[in-house]
Amino acid sequence: MSSPRPDDQATSADIKDAIGRVVTAVQTAARKRSRQAVNRPFRRNTAPLAARVRKRLVDRMVQAQREEGLTVGAVARALRYSPSVWSQVRDGKYKGDVDKFLRRGRDWLEHRSRRAMLSEAVYADTSIGGQVIAVCRTAATMPTIGRIITPSGCGKTAALAAFAREAGERCLHLQIGQAFHTLRGVLTEIARRLKIAGAASQTTPDLYALVRDHVARFYAGGANDPFVLLADETTTLRGNALDMLRNLHDDPAARIGLVLADTDLLDERFKGRDAYRHGAEQTLGRCAAVYRFARDRKIPIDDVRAVGTSILRTLGFDGTLDRAAWSYLADVANRPGRFHNVKGILMRCREIVEAAGREAAYTAPELDFVARLVDLEPRWEHPVPPWELGAETPAAETAVA
């Protein structure tokens, strides 16, 4: 056999080089399509709305405004229109693009509905939530002061809200924040939530007396149903506001149960005695119920399944996830954000897949494909969206493995 000529060798190298450039170009284009699929806006149906659809949307928006006690201006701001436009649409007098306005209104209604559904459905019986509720019950029945310290996203707030619903009128769940973190602000918010009349015109000492007398009727000097106050995000409280809450607990007439809940910043706040002045030692000395979930602890897989199943049912998914999908959700639940990651990635998965005209199966590749949308790092490369591939795909095989 004759050896190849130099010209043939050069031609062969050129062909290999050309093939390499073509493969690189195809892979680059595939990655670009993948990013565009994730980031492109949803495709909306821009066909004119039927008259009956318009009327139904207006009626639903009016009902939503009435149920939430919103002003015309509040609804208009939510839709990024002026109040006069909403008034004209409502009265059938608007001469502009009514369909554009009502499409925004439909999005607002869907967001409102989803928010209401998730607020009720996200809480599920978990081991962490059970411990949080146990502290609340102890604080209410003794009564005593309880402390709850968990990383953000572990379900603490959802469990506090669940206990508050269970306890009814003898429990108040306060999510402390910049709106009311001072002594006067906290007293005013408590009075507002308890519907105490005439609170705004009272001095701070008189306002404290009004609140104390109101909650004292639950305790009545030894009754079995004392009032319990749940203070979420306690670290935002001013020192004298925390002292006031402890005084309501110490007061022989009121004797409220008190739960202080936050992240491990709460421990650091108590250690820095200057922050809570002399009251830190008195408050810690009265804590007879404490639950602490360390930052480096793993979320139990059963808790991930309980929360994930609750969210999936809310999203209308009645199927079951495979082991790879649950393993993926367990992994994201143990990153900063915890259960917030689980909720976010499941919701975005449904939105993106449905925007593509498909039905979400919530497989590990589908979840990984939308990971960047909830600030999580994906595990795999996705040249094309997973739902456009067959069952036997490299990404799916890698996920199961």
Does a structural domain hold residue 168? yes
pLDDT of the residue at 109: 81
160 lies in a domain? Answer: yes
Q: Are 298 and 333 in contact (CB under 8 A)?
A: no
**327, part of any domain:** yes
pLDDT of 38: 44
Q: Among residues 267, 292, 317, which one ends one of the domains?
A: 292
57 located within any domain: yes
Supply the Cα-derived Rg of the chain in whole angstroms. Answer: 28
Distance (Å, whole) CA 274 – CA 364: 49
For 205, phi and psi rounded to 5 degrees? -60, -40
**Do 209 and 260 lie in a common domain?**
yes
Counting as low any pLDDT under 70, the low residues of the chain are 1-46, 111-123, 178-179, 219-224, 272-279, 390-401
DSSP 3-state of 291: strand
- Is the same domain home to 153 and 234? yes
288 with 308, same domain: the answer is no
Counts of helices then strands in the chain (DSSP H, E): 17, 5
Same domain, 193 and 220: yes
Which residues lie below 8 Å from residue 113, measured CB to CB, with a gap of 6+?
A: none
Over the stretch 227-264, which tens digit does the pLDDT of each residue have? 899 999 998 888 889 889 999 999 888 889 999 999 98
Q: For position 399, what pLDDT does the model report?
A: 40
166 lies in a domain?
Answer: yes
Report the CATH number at residue 259: 3.40.50.300
Cβ of 22: how many Cβ atoms within 10 Å?
10
Q: Looking at the structure, do residues 320 and 284 belong to the same domain, yes or no?
A: no
Same domain, 206 and 152: yes
95 and 176 housed in the same domain? no
Residue 217 sits in the same domain as residue 250 = yes
Whether 74 and 195 map to the same domain: the answer is no
Say if 51 falls within a structural domain: yes
Same domain for 312 and 287: no
Instruction: Give the range of the structural domain holding residue 372, as residue numbers without chain letter.
Output: 301-400
Residues 223 and 166 in one domain: yes
Domain stop point among 252, 274, 292 = 292
pLDDT of residue 366: 94
Residue type at 115 in one-letter notation:
R
Residue 91 lies in a domain: yes
How many domains is the chain built from? 3
Q: Under DSSP, is residue 220 helix (H, G, I), strand (E, B) or coil? A: coil
In this structure, are 315 and 341 located in the same domain?
A: yes
Dump pLDDT digits (tens) for 262-319. Answer: 998 888 777 765 555 556 778 888 899 999 999 999 999 999 999 999 999 888 888 8
195 CB burial (10 A radius; 0-12, 13-18, 19+): exposed
Residue 31: inside a domain: no
Q: Among 83, 99, 115, give the residue marking a domain's end.
A: 99
Whether pTM exceeds 0.75: no
Give the model's pLDDT for residue 224.
Answer: 60
